[in-house]
Amino acid sequence: MPGTSSGRSVSEKPSQPDADLVTIVIPARNEEAFIGACLDSILVQDESNLQVIVADGCSSDRTTDIVREYATRDARIELLRNEAGVVPAALNLALEAARGAWLVRVDAHATVPPDYVSRAVRHLRSGRWGAVGGRKDGIGLTPAGHAIAAAMGSKFGVGGSVYHYGTDTREVDHVPFGAYPTTLARELGGWDESLAVNQDFEFDRRLRERGYAILFDPDLRIDWYCRQSLRALWAQYHRYGAGKMAVMRMHPGGVRLRHLGPPGFVMAVIAALALAPWRPRLVLLVTGSYAIALGAASVVTARQLDDRTSKLLVPAAFAVMHTGWGLGFWRGLGRTLLGRPAAGRRQPAGSTEPQFAPSRS
């Protein structure tokens, strides 16, 4: 149920939100490599009347130490402990503690330009939008990371997820790291804490069901440090696919064709392999068709990369995204049919891949 939480350190909701104050929400867990750059980008916003809440999910690294160091230098920063350890619980903790009339989520793995907050809030103040979000540009720090970032910015990689590549301001069905009126977020009951992934999509779905529109503004640029290895990318997309089933059960009407593409491809390959003894050409037809599309998309996508190794890894990044998501989806469906908790509901304690800190130069 949306808004359900355990282990909260904040028990009383503030009174009427301050119309001139903006609350920035940063869910974090084991983000010592990135949290400093994230906070640096927030603290130089041209909108200075901020409440900056970092909701930490029991980090085992130096994340909380770094946040406390920043807080000693800037009183706008507050640190909350998220005992549940999942993103929606962090968002709900911050929602309870928010004093501002506007709630802007920023990912701990991301940095935003100096006018990001003021631009988002200006849209919300117009009264036309229930949510506002921007373009999520992947940032690579390794050869694999560069390939992954390029693949995530391609329609072939992410389908109809406009926020990865859109260039025109438009109404959409979902935005990442959205900005919302605080009172509206509270009226909706906050984020569903049973969903460690896709909770933002499910929240936006409820928002639209209430009759509110969502704005995508590509000038709201989010530099998001994506996974930096193919192994980590596989784990991420497998978890995304598994978690999508839980959201589809809640909101069947929210299913889009793009959501069924990777599961359909995976099932087609499995079916072709099963029928191979009788229909050997079917395997060639299915895999060959995908290989042609993969090759064409990879050639186009790799043009934006300078490093040869990164160029060569683009096809692998695409394939990992598609098969990871597709297999995760069928795993989630299987667990659902067996009456087990939906897969992908809990986030890992921290990434198992090496953490590469972003350059601050």
Q: What is the CATH number assigned to the segment(s) 18-227?
A: 3.90.550.10
**Contact assessment for residue 25 and residue 38, using Cβ atoms and an 8 Å cutoff:** no
Per-residue pLDDT tens over the stretch 155-168: 898 877 788 888 99
* Paired residues of 239 in beta bridges: none
More confident residue, 126 or 176: 126
Of the ranges 117-131, 178-192, 224-238, 340-354, which one carries the lowest mean pLDDT score?
340-354
For residue 180, the cross-strand partners are: 103
User: What would the pLDDT profile of 81-109 be if each residue is shown by its tens digit?
Assistant: 999 999 999 999 999 999 999 999 999 99
Q: What is the pLDDT of residue 340?
A: 62
Please tell me the distance from the alpha carbon of residue 107 to that of residue 305, in angstroms, as a whole number. 25
- Alpha-carbon distance 261 to 252, whole Å? 16
The DSSP letter of residue 2 is B
What is the Cα–Cα distance from 314 to 145, expressed in whole angstroms? 10
Bridge partners, 273 (sequence order): none
Task: Give the model's pLDDT for residue 158.
Answer: 81
Indicate whether 8 pLDDT > 70: no
**Coil/strand/helix, residue 219:** strand
Q: Are strands 214-225 and 131-139 parallel, antiparallel or unpaired?
A: parallel
Q: What is the DSSP letter of 252?
A: G
Cβ atoms of 294 and 231 within 8 Å: the answer is no
Top pLDDT among 224 and 242 is at 224
Which range, of 111-125, 179-193, 223-237, 257-271, averages the lowest pLDDT? 257-271
Local confidence band at 10 (pLDDT 50, 70, 90 cut-offs): very low
Please say if the pLDDT value at position 7 is more than 50: no
Given a cut of 90, is residue 354 above it in pLDDT? Answer: no
User: In the prediction, which pLDDT does 257 show?
Assistant: 62
Tell me the pairing of strands 100-105 and 179-181: antiparallel
Q: Pick the closest to residue 110 from 232, 236, 222, 22 (CA basis).
A: 222
How far is the first Cα of the chain from the last one, in angstroms, to the nearest whole number? 44
Which pLDDT value is given to residue 134? 95
Give the pLDDT of residue 39. 98
Confidence bin at 190 (pLDDT 50/70/90): very high
Mean pLDDT of the chain: 87
> Would the pLDDT of 349 be above 50?
no
Which of these, 212, 144, 136, lies nearest to 176 by C-alpha position? Answer: 136
Q: Is the pLDDT of residue 258 over 70?
A: no
Q: Which residue has the tokens 């540009």?
A: 137
- Asked if residue 54 has pLDDT above 80, the reply is yes
As a whole number, mean pLDDT of residues 173-195 equals 94
- Looking at the predicted structure, is the pLDDT value of residue 120 above 60? yes
DSSP 354: P
Can you give the pLDDT at residue 9? Answer: 34
**Ranges of CATH 3.90.550.10 domains, the chain:** 18-227
